[in-house]
Amino acid sequence: MKVRIDYDLCMGDGNCHRVCPAVFDYDDRNLRGVVKVDVVPPEHEEAVRRAADECAPGAIAVEE
Ligand code: SF4
C-alpha cells in the first residue's frame, strides 16, 4: 500500500498523525500532515485506511 496527501486539500488538523503516527507526521511549520514512509507497513494499513476515511477534506489518497 502507498499513501499520499494532496496539499491543496489538506486543512492541517493533524488527525492523520493522531490516528497513525507511524505513517503520518505533522509539519508544524507548514501546518499540514506529511507521509513519512514510501510503503505502508502491513500492520499499519488498517490505521491508514481509517485516517483516510476520517480526513474531512478527502486529502489522503490510498493506493492498494
Ligand atoms: S487528516 Fe487530512 S486534513 Fe488533517 S492533516 Fe491529515 S491530510 Fe491534512
pLDDT of 2 reads: 98
Pocket test for ligand 1, best of 6, 8, 15, 34 (most atoms within 8 A of CB): 15
d(CA 31, CA 62): 21
Say which CATH class 2-63 falls into. Answer: alpha beta
Domain positions in the chain are 2-63
CA 38 to ligand 1 center in whole angstroms: 18
Among protein residues, the one whose CA lies closest to atom 2 of ligand 1: 55
Residues written for the chain: 64
Per-residue pLDDT at 55 = 98
- Residue 43: the pLDDT is 98
Block mean pLDDT (10 aa), the chain, length 64: 98 98 98 97 98 98 96
Interval between CA 58 and ligand 1 midpoint (Å): 8
Give the contacts of 1 (CB within 8 A, at least 6 positions apart). 39, 40, 42, 45, 48, 62, 63, 64
